[in-house]
A and B are shown apart, each in its own frame.
Chain A
Amino acid sequence: MSARRRTITLGAALCVVVACAEEPSTAIPLGGGEAQPDLDLGVPHLSSDQFATYETREFSELGAPARVLAEGEAEYPGQEEYRDEEDLAPSIWNARTSAMFVPGSFAVWGSHDYMANKGRVDVTATIRRDGTVIGTRLGTTEETYPFIPWWHTITGFVEIATDVDCGLAGDGSSDHAAWWEVAPGAGPSVYGASRMSTSSGIAYQRACEPGVIPTTNTGGGGSGGGGTDTSDYYCWLYITYDLYTLEVLDIQVLWCGEGG
């Protein structure tokens, strides 16, 4: 065989071998009794508290320092005249929770009017698919006013993003609170707290039609598109972190959509 023919034959053989070679197996063989190696993995430290929103609003800083009475109870100048009056019993009224689907999200509002200088509303939004809870998000809003008998209105808001417009249901609930705090942030000077809870009704997206794929797509972290009446739906968070320091770089809000 000539050198030229040998070269062509060798090249063709090499070519066939490379083209027909199987990709390597991805399974790691483990012989009997062989020790399992460690998995090199860094997972960022997170807690579910980090997925809830917490908003505080403070209005009109108190100008004069509180006067300490006893056992941590403080008194703000001018407070004496109100101290034993019934007006100071904190009260809540017009408490309500509203929930609705809007394009691109499920929104829940919790609000109440109150007579006190501290108000708080803890709002929970829950997404369901076929009656099963697939996602929940919490949000807290807290307000501080000067120690003056006056009424205020507080509103808290929680949102769950979604890119489907059929097949989901959702509801909301709120824990409403109001109380007097003589020197906010200065220790145990709290008295007379009122609390109550409210719930919204269940809000529904339209039913999905068999085989029809909705087209709502609001961008963001979702996939676009939507589901059919038999689609499996998911709620997830999307977190990015530094691979080396494990520092969390970003947490996207709870997103619910089709598995795809």
Chain B
Amino acid sequence: MMHASLLRAALVGCVALVSVLSPVSASAQANAANPIFLTIPESYPDLGARVIVMREPGREIVMLDPAAATVDELGAGLRMLAKFRRERPEPTNGEMIPIMGFAPAPNISADERARLEAALAELQRRPIANVGNLGRGRWMRLSMR
């Protein structure tokens, strides 16, 4: 009985400690923790968009045009994704955000540019697979580090 109550108290303290040490609030973390997938489908949707951002409950996707998959497009997609994360709630349905154009190129720091270039290079090295109903293409999960 004594052991059980002590263990319960320890667990409560543990939960409190984890909450305090947590760097961001739980709600913000839920959104920010959504995995981001990058994809370059061979059949890019013919919408005239330079990059397409898609949001679904629990995950987000940045889709690049194989004819123009550059760091600027990737940076623009991630910039707009961050904007929608900040300004809109977690989606309960599908959201598709074709970015029709942007200027100037997103202001990306040298470190961030190097990170995006590495991610893009890794994406382009990925083997061809099926990208849902778009057919063949490449995809990867973006590392948040």
Contacts and interface: CB of A to CB of B under 8 A. Distances in A.
A26 to B, nearest CB: 5
Interface string A121-152: 00000001110111110000000000000000
A89 to B, nearest CB: 38
Given A4-B2, A238-B97, A259-B80, A36 B127 contact: yes
Contacts of B145: 25-27
A69 interface: no
7 contacts: A8-B6, A11-B13, A14-B11, A132-B101, A232-B76, A234-B101, A239-B95
B97 A241 contact: no
B105 interface: yes
Interface of chain B, main secondary structure: mixed
Interface stretch (A43-51, A196-204, A208-216): A43-51
A135 B100 contact: yes
Contacts of B143: 25-27
Best-surrounded residue of A44, A223, A259 (most CB of chain B within 10 A): A259
Contacts of A47: 46-47
A41 B6 contact: no
Given A130-B104, A133-B101, A236 B80 contact: yes
A41 B10 contact: no
B94 A241 contact: yes
Contact of A36 (B6, B128, B142): B128
A64 interface: no
A81 interface: no
A241 B93 contact: yes
A48 B46 contact: yes
B46 A238 contact: no
A234 B104 contact: no
A28 B14 contact: no
B66 interface: no
Given A135-B101, A232-B103, A46 B47 contact: yes
Contacts of B132: 38-43
Interface string B91-112: 1011111111111111100000
A15 B140 contact: no
A44 B46 CA distance: 12
Contacts of B63: 43
